A and B are shown apart, each in its own frame.
Chain A
Amino acid sequence: MTDATAPRNAPAPYIVPHRPWRDLLTGPVASIAFTVIVVVAVGLIWIGPRFLAFGNVGIMGAFLIVPLVVGACAGFALLSGVVDLSIGSMVGFSSALFALLLTLAWNPWAAAAVTLAACLGFGAINAIAIVGFGAEAIAATLGMLVALRGITWVLLGPQGAIFSFHPGLSDLVNQTLFGLPLFFLVAIGFTVIAAIVVARTRFGRHVQAVGGDDKAAARAGIPVKRIRVAALLLSAFGAGLGGIVFTAQLGSAARATGFGLEFQVYAALMIGGYSILRGGVGNPIGGALGLLAVAGVSNILDLKAVSPYYVNIIVGLLLLAAVLLDRMRGGDAYE
């Protein structure tokens, strides 16, 4: 009824002009793209063409597979306005469970399926606590981080490691294509798919809307709870996938697997334009570029035999710069 009584001559809604090329320079990905270019330039000047040689990029790529997959999925949770701190432990748990099942002579596919199902189960606990009961996401997933670490350590037993070398899996994961690790290219493809989902599908737009303003999204008829549950499950799924790849790559699972990965991934994602404090900003391409920038920095310092502790200092400073930039771009000022 209210629609019928609304004035007929209401102004047409303002349509945001779609300028993909201009967005590339001014949009959220612009600053991280510049950062990556600067990192590459510094690498080329300081190290020389060797920095971009296939061998070197391949080494970086092999290290980046897990963070790329984990980051692309965890990005959905950030976009929907909930942060999932348990991803690092989830990677460790998934890696340990997968390795354990392999040593019990399970078929790798069955082992992977069971591992992913277990990760989704823990993701569901996160979702029940956060969405169902309204728990603070940071605190609840911190609890899950601790709990999963304990479960991982119990799985690994007193030795603290499971050796599960599987020749077929190792060959599969360490294949190369055009001189680059095949799975690195797969992970990049995964990121691109995630970016398309965010930008071009109804689910992606709903996730952004829920993160941007959940009350407005609810009034617009978007199932806010269901979207957040899906985002948290996706985040757990990505971490589970990452852990499986880890075990396949290394042929073992250890206590240190995934330890502290959540902070590295979120630091890189925030450098890449996501925000862990407000949803609705950032996209998978920016997140992947953030991971590339950090990997590039540590690779340069590695090749120059500079102490690795400088990496953390640079990551910390980049993180502060990134949040400052986010605030200038319209993020909430903290007072």
Chain B
Amino acid sequence: MRLQGWGTGLTLLAVWLLLIAATGLYRPDFLSHQTVLAVSFTMSIVGVMAIGQGLVAISGGFLDLSQPAALIASSLVAVRLSEAGLPFAVVILGAVLTGMAWGFANAVIIVGAKLNPVIVTLATNFIGLAALYFAFQLAEVPLGSAIHQFGRAKLFGLPAIWWPMLALVLVVGFLIPRTRYGRRAIAVGGNRMAARARGISLKATRFAIFTAAGGFVGFAGVLFCATSGPFNPSSANALQLNVIAGVILAGISLSGGRGNFWLLLLSVGFLSTIPTALVFFGLSSDTQSIFQGLILISAVAFDGYRARRGTP
């Protein structure tokens, strides 16, 4: 039980190393510190968002499609707070609370009206992005502020924003299978009727999961506005697919109840290496979507095949 998903992990690691080795053989200058910087930079924001998406998926909530709007809302709050000259800790707190409030609002609709999260979050993303366009057109963290410096800082040779992502993935991955709350979330995702029969409140679990997932997106919003230049409400739309692909590749089942969050490091790392590797192969950056899409299809097809074989 504790070794759950290590087959997936080894496969991911092997594919990732294969990609690195192939690119390194073709272009030895790929194996440089610059590449490590580029990959870890891309990993950071997607990784933190993937934790939130993974929490929703593992507890049987399928997908949170409103992550782009939640991320931008949190980033906007972070920008406004740092423009007001507030300390960095307050800026982070404000963004995280914004994300949590967003997730809570999703949960109110999902639990209150008993509607499917995929559609609810699709609708709140529509509404949220449109509302954000009324709030602002273009925003940017003030130059020289603490958050701006944080986005450009390095720590032990890696971007400073990479370390919080690593810490969060490790902590969440450690806590989920080992705490009562984490196991409840998995139980609800695996079989909600059985979970309810054992006295787990489905409503409380949904509220907790969506609020927590929103909090992770809120923190990703801090990383996003710290590193991106001026952004508009649509700037985060492209992240969504990478996040979902990362969650699926990590073997966190979209139908719930199964998954290991530590594997997010491998899946997100692998996905973040693809764009850089393709550039070294001399392929245009447009081709990266082709590879990411085909990898996603193969991964879900393999996942479906395994599930079908496992349950005759």
Q: Chain A: residues with CB nearer than 8 A to chain B?
A: 125, 128-130, 132-136, 138-140, 142-151, 153-154, 158, 263, 267, 270, 276-277, 307, 309-313, 315-317, 319-320, 323-324, 327, 332-335
Q: Does A319 lie within 8 Å of B288, measured CB to CB?
A: no
User: Contacts of A158 on B, CB cut-off 8 Å?
Assistant: 284
- Classify the interface of chain A: helix, strand, loop or mixed: helix
Q: Does B254 lie within 8 Å of A138, measured CB to CB?
A: yes
* Chain A, residue nearest B114 (CB): A333
User: Contacts of B299 on A, CB cut-off 8 Å?
Assistant: 143
Q: Does B164 contact A (CB under 8 A)?
A: no
Select which of B126, B241, B295, B305 is within 8 A of A313 by beta carbon. B126
Q: A142-B241, A142-B244, A277-B118 are in contact. Are A320 and B109 (CB under 8 A)?
A: yes
Q: Does A135 lie within 8 Å of B117, measured CB to CB?
A: no
Give the contacts of B107-132 with A (CB-CB under 8 A): 109-110, 113-120, 122-127, 129-131
User: Contacts of A319 on B, CB cut-off 8 Å?
Assistant: 119, 122-123, 126
Q: A138-B63, A334-B110 are in contact. Are A276 and B119 (CB under 8 A)?
A: yes
Q: Does B127 lie within 8 Å of A317, measured CB to CB?
A: yes
Q: A136-B255, A142-B241, A324-B115 are in contact. Are A129 and B301 (CB under 8 A)?
A: yes
Q: Does B297 lie within 8 Å of A150, measured CB to CB?
A: no
Q: A154-B287, A315-B126 are in contact. Are A136 and B300 (CB under 8 A)?
A: yes
Select which of B118, B300, B303 is within 8 A of A276 by beta carbon. B118
Q: Does B172 contact A (CB under 8 A)?
A: no
Most chain A CB inside 10 Å of its own CB: which residue of B127, B192, B287, B302 = B127
Q: A138-B62, A139-B248, A309-B134 are in contact. List 18 more A-B contacts (CB 8 A).
A: A133-B301, A135-B297, A140-B296, A143-B292, A143-B293, A143-B295, A146-B292, A147-B294, A147-B297, A148-B293, A150-B286, A277-B118, A316-B123, A320-B115, A323-B120, A324-B113, A327-B114, A333-B114
Q: Does B4 contact A (CB under 8 A)?
A: no
Q: Does B245 contact A (CB under 8 A)?
A: yes
Give the contacts of B261-309 with A (CB-CB under 8 A): 284, 286-297, 299-305, 307-308
